[in-house]
Amino acid sequence: MDDELVFKWYPKPRNYVREAREHGLQRTPARTHPLASTPKATGVTTNGTTSKPSTAPKPDQTTPQTVTKKTATFVDPLLAMADTAEYPSMPPSFKTPLRKIDGMLTKEELVGPWNIKKEAILTQYTTTEKMTFSSSFLPGEEKVAPIVTARSASVAGKIQSRLESLEQLDNVEVGTVKEVLNLTQQEYIARLDQLHHKLQAAWRDDQRVTALKIAIQLAKLLSDTAPLSFYPSKFVLITEVLETFGQLVHDRIQEKAESGHNDNQNLEFAKETCRNWFFKVASVRELLPRIYIEISLMRCVRFVEPRAADGEMIQRFVKMIRGIGDHLVASYVRCYLARMIGQLAPEMTHQLGFLLEDFANLTAQVRPEVLERSTKAEKFDVSSYWLLHQPALEWITESYGKEMGEQGLETVFSLADKSRNCKGLLLNCALTSFDPLLVTKNPIRICGLIQQNIQEFFPTYMLCRNFGLCLLNGDNDQKERKKVLNEIFPLIIAQKNSTRYISAVEVWTEYAAKFFTAKEVNRILADIIDHLTPDRAYHNCPSALLRILERIVRHLRSFVVLLSMDKFMPFMDMLQQDEVRLKAAKVLLEAFGKYERDDNMDVVVVDGVLFASKILHDSITSLSSQDEKRNAAEVIRGFLRKVDFGLDFEQQLNFYAECRSTFSNLDDVAEYLVRAVNHLAMSVHRIQHGHHTRKTASFVRACIAFNFITIPSLSDVPSQLNLYLESAQVALCNNCLSQADAMIKAAIQLFNATKNELEVYATKLRPASRIAGEFGSQLLSLLLVVPDPPEQGILYLMRGVINTLSSCEDTVRRNLQVQLLAFLSAALQEDYLYHIDGIDSNDRLYGPDPNFFQEIDDISSSILTDLMSTLLCFQKSRQFPQAVKLALDILDTLFAHADLGRSVPVLEVLLEVLRHHGNSCEPKRFQQLKSFVQVRKQTDSIFSTVRID
């Protein structure tokens, strides 16, 4: 390369006002709202067929392409409403309806509520006691008949084999059952899973009777209620296996009914098979397994008699269940029957009332002293025993209530009123299963039923809690609410157990906060303090106390009202564990940011919430994750955004200064404070209309000084650079030139010190070169309006930028040099594109000074020469991708800011590089350049000489 090679930069003279007038687009009102729904275009539906629009769109309408769910790669927010209409929110399996058989509901429509109930039961009812598992199919001990396939056996052989299996069915409990003792809960469940798999395997191997025997033995396990605490979960696990068995039998019969071409003959075969299955089940001697297996096969009855699942059959099951002596076992058999009725004959759910009536009548015969002796052997109290019935009774009452509504609720209330031992249990099931709006129509009656329950074994606190939950969703008048509170709260106060007391009182605290004033809430808080302070019982229920706090602030909302309650702070003092205090601080801060009004700034409130913010801040340590820091900062910023002292700007600045010292560990908060102080300074500027008095000018300088001290405390360099420039802009707007110069110098010095360390702060989407480029662009845009200090010479601050380039990474240096060319072209214009009121920029400061123009001309030509030399070096060393990228960057700046008529030598070198390597190295940008040149050739004669191909 020739060392004497020099390229001259010729800036293009610009008249920004004329350009805006000639090339600016005229604004026109929009005819439609951009977020309004638009008509759907013809598209492909989910089943692959083509859909046609009902009306053809007008020519000037834009109709979006309908994207199928299977091929869509993103969700267009503008089409969200229309998209929802086309694809309703539902599980994928619901979009293609399954074929219904004789009016039966599909499985997917039924399993949802039970699955939720099932998971709750399995989570709540567990045990640590050892259990016994009985079966003749335990690993290593099962006796499986030899597999007989259709191909290898004759019909006579298959019949003989099945007859032998039927004879073995009577021997299920005679000498063949093995017991495994001392099983843990996990081991017991594992044995159930093993038998579940064995049942399915036996069915696949055409061992139907073996599968039936496994189902019978599993059903027999439900006769053993020990341990009591695990029985509801045992019921769920075993009935899942019975469901599988019933479905297998049904599918088998359905297959026979649909096979072949002779429909009548196929239906006869299906009927015969179905009868055979019920005959097999009828041969089971014990009542409990026979009932469970028959109920699991209810779905098959339709093959024999389509309406047999109705009326008579249900009544037969109801009467059979009366013969079960154990009340707990009988309750869960009723639950299983209710499930199957809901699945197979939902129109017959009114008959579930007989199940509830049987439960009430039979439990009334229980003698409490006998029950107490039997449960004592299991180390169970009577109250806990009745609670074991609750999942089964809840499912029955819930199914009954969906069909019967208010009439069903009245039935349950009547049974509860007349019953002796299960008044509270039936009432509780009604409270948890029926619609709260129905339950709360007569709250005074429910108060009476709860008061009658005091002498029974069912826990009163649970009734109070669930009644309160219903009232929270009810629609009663204020007079009724007051009477209910006065009648129920004494029952809660009477609870001596702190756990039971807090469980009920947390709901009624929300009730008082939602429907009454702070006076009633304060009374309840006083009672909570009186109950939990002795023996420091509040240490045992921190989560409940936290929930009470959440419910209070959710409804009272005003922190002035909260802090006016004399019992609120003593209540907060009970939250003594560090983790709970931290969560309480988050609750208060989130509520303050969400509910507190900006025009209601009380100093006491601000100090209280600031103290909560300090608790949250102090929980952040060097070991805290970035997510924890980010969440804490977001909550604290929400509080700071709400604090507004109006026109008392000095108090606002003092508050920010206090926050700076309080939240020193959170960079996001410090960054927010800098921006908030900048906003404060601009608020004063707006009020003064840009003409400061001595007092306001002093205040603005104090704001800039606050930022100058705060910004270096940040650890994130890109944030520091941005805040320095933002604060410099605020200083310029307020005519604080010395403060603006100090901010810009600090930014340049920081960039110079850290320019080779930006990789630490880089991300995949924002590499170090982009960080440097963004900073350079913002800095140069600001420097355009900053006048040179008289004592420092021409372009003093810009020279500081140039001095940093020599030690920059090559890519960063080249990008900044290209930006400098654009900046220097703008700096040479007679009138700059923008100005700041009250600030004389260099265009006015220097005017037509030839020294100023010559200085800029020398600097720009030097930068261009350096860039072109680098370009030629890339070309000589065959680094064509780097050469093409640099050539495109220079050419973009040349087209926008240079006089092309005088820049032919530079243009020729750049185009030469692009003609040979542009399309291979940067195809996208190269094609864009070609399109740009073709368009400009039509309007600008200079481009007629530009040849790229």
Listed residue (469, 465, 451, 535) closest to 502, CA to CA: 465
Token pair recorded at residue 907: 């243009």
690: left (phi > 0), else alpha (psi -120 to 50), else beta? left
User: Who has greater pLDDT, 306 or 149?
Assistant: 306
**DSSP characters for 535-552?**
GGGGGG-HHHHHHHHHHH
Question: In this predicted model, what pLDDT tens digit does every residue of 816-826 receive, in sequence order?
Answer: 999 999 999 99
**What does the mean pLDDT of the chain come to?**
82
Phi (first) and psi of residue 135, to 5 degrees: -170, 155
Predicted pLDDT at 101: 36
Listed residue (672, 661, 671, 563) closest to 618, CA to CA: 661
User: Who has greater pLDDT, 152 or 254?
Assistant: 254
**Do residues 338 and 375 lie in contact, with contact meaning Cβ atoms separated by under 8 Å?**
no
Q: Which of 239-243, 366-370, 919-923 has the highest mean pLDDT?
A: 239-243
Q: What confidence category does residue 114 fall into, taking pLDDT thresholds of 50, 70 and 90?
A: confident
Predicted confidence (pLDDT) at residue 537 exceeds the cutoff of 50: yes
Predicted pLDDT at 80: 45
Predicted confidence (pLDDT) at residue 109 exceeds the cutoff of 60: no
Predicted pLDDT at 37: 62
Predicted pLDDT at 567: 92
Q: What confidence category does residue 4 fall into, taking pLDDT thresholds of 50, 70 and 90?
A: low
Predicted pLDDT at 734: 93
Alpha carbon separation from 338 to 102, 223, 341, 344 (Å, rounded) = 20, 19, 5, 10
Question: In this predicted model, what pLDDT tens digit does every residue of 926-939 receive, in sequence order?
Answer: 888 888 888 888 77
The span from the CA of 700 to the CA of 683, in Å, is 10
Predicted pLDDT at 263: 66
Name residue 11's beta-bridge partners.
898
**Do residues 457 and 436 lie in contact, with contact meaning Cβ atoms separated by under 8 Å?**
no
User: Who has greater pLDDT, 710 or 112?
Assistant: 710
Predicted confidence (pLDDT) at residue 125 exceeds the cutoff of 50: yes
**Of the ranges 401-415, 589-603, 702-716, which one carries the lowest mean pLDDT score?**
589-603
CA 718, 720, 726 angle in degrees (round to 5)?
Answer: 105
User: Who has greater pLDDT, 888 or 84?
Assistant: 888
Token pair recorded at residue 353: 């009332």
The span from the CA of 268 to the CA of 276, in Å, is 12
Over residues 412-424, the mean pLDDT reads 85
Predicted confidence (pLDDT) at residue 568 exceeds the cutoff of 50: yes
Predicted pLDDT at 96: 31
Predicted pLDDT at 69: 40
The span from the CA of 764 to the CA of 756, in Å, is 17
**Do residues 266 and 259 lie in contact, with contact meaning Cβ atoms separated by under 8 Å?**
yes
Over residues 106-124, the mean pLDDT reads 73
Predicted pLDDT at 713: 93
Predicted confidence (pLDDT) at residue 658 exceeds the cutoff of 90: yes
User: Who has greater pLDDT, 380 or 629?
Assistant: 629
* Virtual torsion, Cα 450, 454, 458, 462, nearest 10 deg: 50
User: Who has greater pLDDT, 58 or 459?
Assistant: 459
Q: Which of 142-146, 346-350, 370-374, 783-787 has the highest mean pLDDT?
A: 783-787
Token pair recorded at residue 68: 């199928």
**Do residues 196 and 241 lie in contact, with contact meaning Cβ atoms separated by under 8 Å?**
yes
| CB neighbour list of residue 132: distance below 8 Å, 6 or more residues apart | 179, 180, 181, 182, 183, 224
* Virtual torsion, Cα 193, 195, 198, 199, nearest 10 deg: -110
In percent, the amount of the chain with pLDDT more than 90 equals 37
Predicted pLDDT at 508: 95
**Of the ranges 166-175, 327-336, 523-532, 897-906, which one carries the lowest mean pLDDT score?**
166-175
